[in-house]
Amino acid sequence: MPSIAKPKPTCVECGAVVSKAAKRCQKCWDGRRGVPLRRAKALALESLHEPLQSFEAAYKRWDKAIGKMHDRYKGPPKKPKGRERFVVIPDIHAPFHREEQLAHICAVEGPKATKAILLGDVADAYSFSTFTKYERVPFADEWAAVELVLQSVSEAFHEVEIIVGNHDERLEKRVRERLTEDMVDAVRYLTGGTLNPLVALAKRYPNVSIAKHETQDGATVDWFTTEGDCWLGHPQSFSRVAGSALRRVEDYISDYEAALNLQRYRLVIIGHTHQLSAIPYRSGQLLVEGGSICRTQGYQLSPRLGGRPQKNAYVWFEQDAGKTDLNSFGWHWFDVA
């Protein structure tokens, strides 16, 4: 005999019995369009593994902690219109760099330059130095500064190329001194081939590359690069005599012209000396020391008199189809500004 009671309300989607007020059962309510996705996202944010298993996880938690709404890395800017303009950012030595000077270069030159070239010694690598230390600068602290430098130039300049300086190579030297060859191979396997943390870091930014000059034998060199008829490098050459390091480099380029697959360069710019100079040399050739944007280093204040006080400055030049306009060359000297 059929029940004479009012039929029980059912879910409009699956027909399951529901309470009087509801149109849908709990299952169908949860499954309506969009909801599962939102819930999955919320769950993913909350179910971070401890300890954190990846950089992304740590980054996500950091975002949450600081209440960040979108990604802080803006990405590279568009290429400015007009002539090719190169800005040379000399010895930075992060974390010992003058931040206001780097900020000036990014703000003033970023919108005009088609490319920035970092002239070596981007990181100081103080913790890997074998010289007597008077300060304690842990690698983690230094690296936070280096990351910020690289992210800032990547956001300010359309294209960035890094020349590797002697300071940037310090870790590699220490690792090779202390580990067996097989251990070095194993470490390289883990890092994807490099022992240079700067090279590893550069991979994170789509517009940042490491200098890679190919020699005649197909080997690659990372301490200098060329841009049309301009040669830029970080040779480990220094002299008390003004301009002497430059003339040595010019000789070197001529001597190694064939072996290193070089030509005649109308503009030669070197880092490492932390000096600022521009010397018209052979006919139609200009030799330049590009300055620095770091603080005076401790050893420069020692009573052992040597070297000359460093200059804080940077330089720029323009080219048409690979030919440098030597009259477009200029510098900004911070010390006298």
Q: Is there binding between residue 165 and Zn ion (CB under 5 A)?
A: yes
The least CB distance from residue 62 to Zn ion, in Å, is 32
Beta strands 160-162 and 323-333, pairing class: unpaired
Query: Do you know the residue count of the chain?
Result: 337
Nearer of residues 272 and 332 to Zn ion, judged by Cβ: 272
Nearer of residues 165 and 233 to Zn ion, judged by Cβ: 165
The least CB distance from residue 234 to Zn ion, in Å, is 6
Q: Contact at 8 Å (CB) between 75 and 155?
A: yes
Nearer of residues 170 and 272 to Zn ion, judged by Cβ: 272
The least CB distance from residue 268 to Zn ion, in Å, is 16
Q: Determine the interface stretch with Zn ion among 60-68, 121-129, 137-145, 283-291 (rule: CB under 5 A).
A: 121-129
Q: Is there binding between residue 161 and Zn ion (CB under 5 A)?
A: no
**How would you list the strands of the sheet with 267-270, edge to edge?**
224-227, 230-233, 267-270, 286-290, 276-280
The least CB distance from residue 277 to Zn ion, in Å, is 15
Choosing from 170, 213, 272, 332, the residue that interacts with Zn ion (CB under 5 A) is: 272
The least CB distance from residue 310 to Zn ion, in Å, is 9
d(CA 179, CA 145) in angstroms, rounded, equals: 27
Q: Is there binding between residue 170 and Zn ion (CB under 5 A)?
A: no
Choosing from 109, 121, 159, 318, the residue that interacts with Zn ion (CB under 5 A) is: 121
Q: CB atoms < 10 A from the CB of 20, how many?
A: 6
The three-point CA angle 38-43-49 to 5° equals: 150
Q: Is there binding between residue 166 and Zn ion (CB under 5 A)?
A: yes
d(CA 305, CA 229) in angstroms, rounded, equals: 37
Choosing from 91, 159, 169, 222, the residue that interacts with Zn ion (CB under 5 A) is: 91
Q: Is there binding between residue 213 and Zn ion (CB under 5 A)?
A: no
d(CA 194, CA 25) in angstroms, rounded, equals: 58
The closest alpha carbon to 236, from 137, 29, 91, 51, belongs to 91
Q: CB atoms < 10 A from the CB of 136, how many?
A: 8
**Tokens matching residue 40:** 């999955």
The least CB distance from residue 70 to Zn ion, in Å, is 36
Binding site residues, Zn ion, CB under 5 A: 91, 121, 165-166, 272
